[in-house]
Amino acid sequence: MTRSEVSARSRRRTLTARQSDLLNRLEQLFLAEGFATFTLDDLAARMRCSKSTLYALAPSKEQLSVLVVSHFFKKATARIEARIADVEEVRARIGEYLSAAGDELRPAGREFIGDIAAFPPARAVYELNARAAAARIRSLIADGVKQGAFRDVHAALVSEMVGLTIEHIHLGVIAKRTGLSDAEAFQALSEFLLGALAPNA
């Protein structure tokens, strides 16, 4: 069975209430401390459970890490969409989308982001979600252009540029180069994007 087949099978499996709680607690641990340095023994000790309980979630520490990373992004995406669901004005929707993205990723420590970048299967999950975010922003920009709220721009190019900026915020590149906090960087990105898209820009 390939890694993608294992991943798909894991997504289809229904978790018990105990497993869902364990997955949420692993997520909090990984967000705070990363995951690369942990062994299954370490994780079992921190979670106060047996290794067999962890094996019931995933057959290896590597696959468990991917499962937790996927869990984090799935929840984050759902919460972001919930925040913009009732925002009708397209400029406000984009601003809220970027604000929500910043809020959701704020708990992710540098160790967590660094571990994702260094571990190809987790990095693939991250990149999949980054592409999905770029596609969502592209659709919002396209909606704004159709409604006359934005000037006519190449939505795909703009969304890719925004996606790369978001990635650099997460990786700490923006903070290192500008001194801005992540929250300040997301606010500045939102202001820049909306200003650039204004019909009279």
Q: What does the domain layout of the chain look like in residue ranges?
A: 3-197
pLDDT score for 201: 54
Predicted confidence (pLDDT) at residue 94 exceeds the cutoff of 50:
yes
Please give the C-alpha separations between residue 94 and each of 2, 73, 188, in angstroms, as whole numbers: 38, 19, 13
Q: What confidence tier does 53 reach under pLDDT thresholds 50, 70, 90? A: very high
Rounded CA-CA distance 96/37 in Å is: 35
Considering only CA atoms, which of 12, 141, 136, 31 is closest in space to residue 77? 136
Q: What confidence tier does 92 reach under pLDDT thresholds 50, 70, 90? A: very high
Predicted confidence (pLDDT) at residue 2 exceeds the cutoff of 70:
no
pLDDT one-digit tens code per residue, 32-45:
999 999 999 999 99
Predicted confidence (pLDDT) at residue 12 exceeds the cutoff of 60:
no
| Packed helices 61-84 and 40-47: angle between N→C axes, nearest 10 degrees | 50
Q: Tokens 């972001």 map to which residue?
A: 80
Average pLDDT, integer, range 51-71: 96
pLDDT score for 6: 45
What is the average pLDDT value for the chain, to the nearest integer? 88
Q: Tokens 């990363």 map to which residue?
A: 34
170 vs 169, more confident: 169
pLDDT score for 85: 95
Q: What confidence tier does 155 reach under pLDDT thresholds 50, 70, 90? A: confident
Average pLDDT, integer, range 58-87: 96
In the CATH scheme, what is the homologous superfamily, with its name and number, of domain 3-197?
Answer: Tetracycline Repressor, domain 2 (1.10.357.10)
Predicted confidence (pLDDT) at residue 158 exceeds the cutoff of 50:
yes
